[in-house]
Each structure stands twice: as C-alpha cells, then as structure tokens.
C-alpha cells in the first residue's frame, strides 16, 4: 500500500487527532482500507470509526452488516450501523436505484460530520473506480471538470486509495489474510457502472493494458488545468446561497469556455452537477439569448433555472410557500422564506421615513402577515391601486419569490408589501400620534 501512504502524505489527508469514519460495505476494497488504517492509526495519530449502511436491497445485506460488526468488535474499532430505505426514496423522488442509494449514503455520512461524531470520512474508491468515473463522465458529455473525475479531497471526504490499483489492494488483502464478502449485485450489468466495469473495461484493457493508469493520469492533468482556470475566473458578481445561485446575464457575454465553467461552478456549488450534461448547459445558454423574463426550465436532480430580469438563477430545490402569521406589533417576526421583519413603536413621528413608517391607528387590528393570495390588491404609497401581482411584476420581483414575499393584509386588501412599500392608506401624516417603524433583514 505504498501508493496509498504517498497519497495520504502528499495530499495531507489526516491531521493529528482526526476522528476518521470509514465507509465499510464488507467488500475487499473497504475491508482493505479499514485494516490498513487500523494498522496505521498510531502512525497517522487518528481515531477510527467504521460506518456501515444497510440499503435493504438484498437478502444478504444483514449478514454483511453482521460480518463488519464482528470484525470491528474483534479489532477494537468503533462501529456504526445505519439502515436506509432506498426503495422508498426511488418511489418518492423518482430516482434510479443507484442515485437513491448514493443520496441515502451521503445523507447518513453528512449527518455524522455535522454532529461532529467524525471529523472526516474515508471512502474506498481506487484507481479502477477513477478510470471508470472519467469514462462515464466523458460519455455523458462532461467537459474538463468532469474529466478530472473524483477528487482525493472533497470537503471532509477523502479517498486515500484513489491512485492505488486494484491489484495492489488484492495483494494486501491476501498477504494480511483479510476476510471480505462479495456483493453479488456487482455482477448485475443493468447498472451502468457495472456494465462498464464488467463488459467494456476488460475489452479496453485487453487492447490497451495500461489504459486505467493513463486515464487516471489524464484526470490528474485535467484537475490541474481545471483548478487553475477556476482560480483566475472572475465570478465575484455571482450570488451564491445554500439552495440557489444567481448569475448576471452580462456574464454570458464571456467566451464560451468561461460561460460553460461558470455554469458548472454554480451546479457544483449546489451539489447538483451529477447527470447534468452538455445539452443541459446549451439549453441554459439558449435561454439567456432567446427566452423572455420569467421563463423556467428543468434539469436533472430537480434543478430549475429561471430567467429573472438581469439574472439567471439556478435553484437546487423549488420552495413551497404559504403562511399566515401574527398581527403587526412591536418586535421581530422571523419568516423562514423571507428573513426578518423588525417593528418598533414610536411616538416621535418622522414623516420623511416614508415607506418605513405607518400610522398605528390606521392599521386594522385584524390585519395579518401572510403570503399573497389570488385577488389581492394594493394601493401603493403616493396613490394608485392595482392588482398585487401586477405591482410585484412592476417591481421586478422574480416569479419564484413572489409567494415568499410577506404582505400585511385584511381580506384581499394589502397594506404592506414587506421590503418594498406600504399602502397609501396607512401612511403617517401631520395628525399621527403613534407609529410603527419597520425595517427588514431579507434573505434573498
């Protein structure tokens, strides 16, 4: 396992005191990794935990979990077992079995990391896995970022054996008499990766014996180029949040390679780049050129892309809004989809505050904060009544955010549009004795 040791050292995978969770299925690769790290935990100054996830897809899965548990008990390794219902995820989210299993696995591991039960997670991917990933990405129409394949370090996930050959792994397993189980599903060629591994790769290696090594070498060059270009690319104008990225439409005037990379960057930020192909990138670029404001297109992984005035917004998950909250009063009202509405009562009325101050007496006591409804109308500050929908369009509020904008209303009469305006009917005047001053901390 000399290659693995070099990777750990060169990439600085471990820090003193790291609590390492190892994803263990019971197969040769993961058992090799678990044994190797357990033998070298003092050398690397790490604490070791084994993580086994039962996908409940095969009859033998419980036996495999028991096998790993028994191994950990005998070798003094902390063991964590989790069960996930992959089939339920397939049906609920319309995913393939492969996609659902991956999503479930990472959901479990992400939770362990967020709770600080482990500080990093080691995965047993090796050179053959990397070569397959590079080919699959290229077959799907990936560019340079796809050609780099998996990364040795991705956040708190590390792959110490990514440059280690399968032959070296099997030699280590044999030399150290490491028992392992064989997953029969690895031979079911209806799964895309299995088909490539079992049917295509043997033909390639028969004609090109060092194909795997060369593919992995190519992926490393691709990573260096990709990292360099990403480092010099100016994306300061992109607005990146947890579930969406806003890209100025002016950025689409850049050269095509930069535009492609920019879109990939947005998708990777949202962790939804998997299964997004060249045709989808082209679709977004066509949208920028030809589509009118408000148009939405759908991509794989429930991603939607919206044309919103001067921005293209990539959204990882559509949010459903609909709320009815408390009445207007002093204090801070937090609305998850919007942000904070901060209300202070004052008896020193300043008419110049305009749309940030309202007359307490003029606000009906039964007016409530809620999301907009069909038939809502609004008399804007300064006069002029129109449908709320038309007002929001005039204010260039993107369609996907209109339901997220709270309004203070009584019936269908809107008195305040949060963050934007107050109704002329509740504005302060020279007769106002008491007022509410309203400020906003907006998420979008």
pLDDT in tens, 107-127: 999 999 999 999 999 999 999
Residue 278 Ramachandran class (φ > 0 left, ψ -120 to 50 alpha, else beta)? alpha
355 or 438: which carries more pLDDT confidence? 438
* Buried-exposed string 342-351: b where 16+ CB fall within 10 A, e elsewhere: eeeeeeebee
Q: For 401-424, how does the pLDDT look when each residue is reduced to its tens digit (9 = 90+)?
A: 787 788 899 888 999 998 888 998
Q: How confident is the model at residue 264 (pLDDT cuts 50, 70, 90)?
A: confident
183 and 68 share one domain:
yes
- pLDDT score at 59: 75
My answer on whether 295 and 335 are in the same domain is no
Task: Flag the least confident range among 31-40, 90-99, 151-160, 207-216.
Answer: 90-99
Is residue 231 one of the residues assigned to a domain? no
Summarize pLDDT for 373-392 with one digit per residue, the tens. 888 999 887 778 889 989 88
Considering only residues 301 and 303, tell me which one the structure prediction assigns the higher pLDDT: 303
The chain-wide mean pLDDT, for the chain, equals 87
Instruction: Judge whether 190 lies within some domain.
Output: yes
Residue 299 is predicted with a pLDDT of 85
Shared domain check, 297 and 164: no
Within this chain, do residues 48 and 184 fall inside the same structural domain, yes or no? yes
- Report pLDDT for 395: 86
pLDDT for the residue 200: 94
Print the domain residue range for 419.
324-442
pLDDT at residue 405 in the model: 86
266 plus 373 within the same structural domain: no
Residues 75 and 194 in one domain: yes
User: Is 82 among the domain residues?
Assistant: yes
Cα distances (Å, whole numbers) of residue 319 to 36, 244, 247, 399: 45, 11, 19, 12
CA distance 74 to 72: 5
Classify residue 237: in a domain, yes or no. Answer: no
Give yes or no for residue 353 having a pLDDT over 70.
Answer: no
Specify the range with the lowest mean pLDDT, choosing from 173-182, 256-265, 311-320. Answer: 311-320
pLDDT at residue 444, as a whole number:
57
- pLDDT given for residue 291 in this prediction: 72
User: What pLDDT score does 331 carry?
Assistant: 85
- Lowest-pLDDT choice from 168-182, 186-200, 218-232, 351-365: 351-365
Residue 310 belongs to domain with CATH number: 3.30.465.60
DSSP β-bridge partners for residue 342: 332, 439
Same domain, yes or no, for 292 and 345? no
Look at residue 72 in the predicted model and tell me its pLDDT. Answer: 95
187 part of a folded domain? yes
Last residue of a domain, one of 267, 292, 315: 315
Last residue of a domain, one of 256, 283, 315: 315
Handedness of CA 320, 322, 326, 330 (dihedral sign): positive
CB 312 within 8 A of CB 297: no
Read off the pLDDT of each residue in 184-206 and give the average, rounded to a whole number. Answer: 88
Q: Is residue 239 part of a domain?
A: no
Contact between 97 and 141 under an 8 Å Cβ cutoff? The reply is: no
Residues 183 and 281 in one domain: no
Query: Percentage of the chain surpassing pLDDT 70?
Result: 97
Same domain, 298 and 342: no
**Quick check: 88 and 97 in contact, CB under 8 A?**
no
3-state secondary structure of 437: strand
In a domain, 234, yes or no: no
Question: Are residues 328 and 302 part of one domain?
Answer: no
Query: Taking CA 9 as the corner, what is the angle to CA 8 and CA 11, rounded to the nearest 5 degrees?
Result: 70
User: Would the pTM count as exceeding 0.85?
Assistant: no
What is the tens place of the pLDDT at every residue in 387-404? 998 988 888 888 777 877
Mark whether 12 and 76 lie in a shared domain.
yes
State how far the alpha carbon of 397 is from the alpha carbons of 194, 293, 420, 442, in Å. 47, 11, 10, 13
| 352-370: average pLDDT | 84
Is there a single domain that holds both residue 54 and residue 187? yes
Identify the CATH number of the domain in which residue 65 sits: 3.40.50.620
Q: How confident is the model at residue 320 (pLDDT cuts 50, 70, 90)?
A: low
Number of domains in the chain: 3
């Amino acid at each position: 396992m000399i290659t693995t040791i070099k990777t750990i050292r060169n990439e600085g995978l471990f820090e003193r005191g790291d609590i390492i969770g190892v994803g263990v299925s019971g197969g040769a690769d993961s058992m090799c990794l678990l044994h190797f790290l357990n033998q070298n935990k003092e050398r690397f100054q790490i604490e070791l935990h084994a993580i086994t996830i039962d996908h409940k897809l095969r009859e033998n899965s419980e036996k495999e979990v028991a096998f790993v548990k028994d191994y950990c008990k005998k070798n003094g390794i902390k063991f964590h077992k989790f069960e996930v219902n992959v089939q339920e995820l397939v049906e609920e989210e319309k995913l393939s079995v492969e996609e659902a299993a991956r999503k479930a696995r990472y959901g479990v591991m992400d939770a362990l990391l967020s709770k600080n039960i482990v500080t990093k997670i080691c995965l047993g991917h090796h050179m053959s896995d990397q070569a397959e990933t590079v080919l699959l990405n290229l077959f799907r129409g990936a560019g340079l970022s796809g050609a780099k394949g998996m990364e040795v370090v991705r956040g708190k996930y590390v792959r110490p054996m990514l440059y280690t050959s399968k032959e070296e792994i099997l030699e280590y397993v044999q030399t150290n008499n490491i028992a392992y189980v064989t997953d029969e599903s690895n031979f079911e060629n209806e799964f895309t990766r299995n088909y490539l591994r079992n049917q295509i790769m043997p033909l390639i290696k028969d004609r090109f014996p060092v194909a795997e090594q060369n593919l992995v070498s190519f992926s490393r060059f691709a990573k260096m180029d990709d990292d360099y270009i990403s480092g010099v690319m100016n994306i300061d104008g992109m607005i990146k949040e947890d579930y969406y990225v806003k890209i100025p439409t002016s950025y689409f005037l850049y050269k095509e390679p930069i535009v492609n990379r920019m879109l990939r960057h947005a998708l990777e930020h949202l962790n939804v780049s998997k299964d997004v192909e060249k045709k989808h990138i082209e679709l977004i670029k066509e949208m920028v050129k030809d589509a009118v404001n408000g148009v939405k297109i759908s991509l794989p992984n429930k991603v939607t892309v919206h044309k919103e005035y001067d921005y293209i917004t990539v959204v990882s998950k559509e949010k459903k809004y609909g709320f009815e909250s408390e009445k207007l009063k002093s204090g801070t009202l937090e609305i998850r989809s919007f942000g904070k509405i901060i209300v202070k009562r004052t008896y020193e009325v300043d008419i110049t505050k305009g749309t940030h101050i309202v007359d307490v007496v003029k606000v009906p006591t039964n007016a409530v904060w809620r999301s907009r409804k069909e038939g809502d109308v609004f008399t804007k500050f300064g006069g002029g009544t129109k449908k709320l929908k038309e007002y929001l369009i005039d204010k260039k509020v993107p369609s996907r955010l209109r339901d997220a904008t709270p309004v203070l209303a009584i019936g269908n009469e809107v008195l305040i549009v949060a963050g934007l305006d107050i109704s002329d009917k509740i504005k302060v005047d020279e007769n106002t004795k008491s007022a509410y001053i309203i400020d906003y901390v907006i998420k979008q």
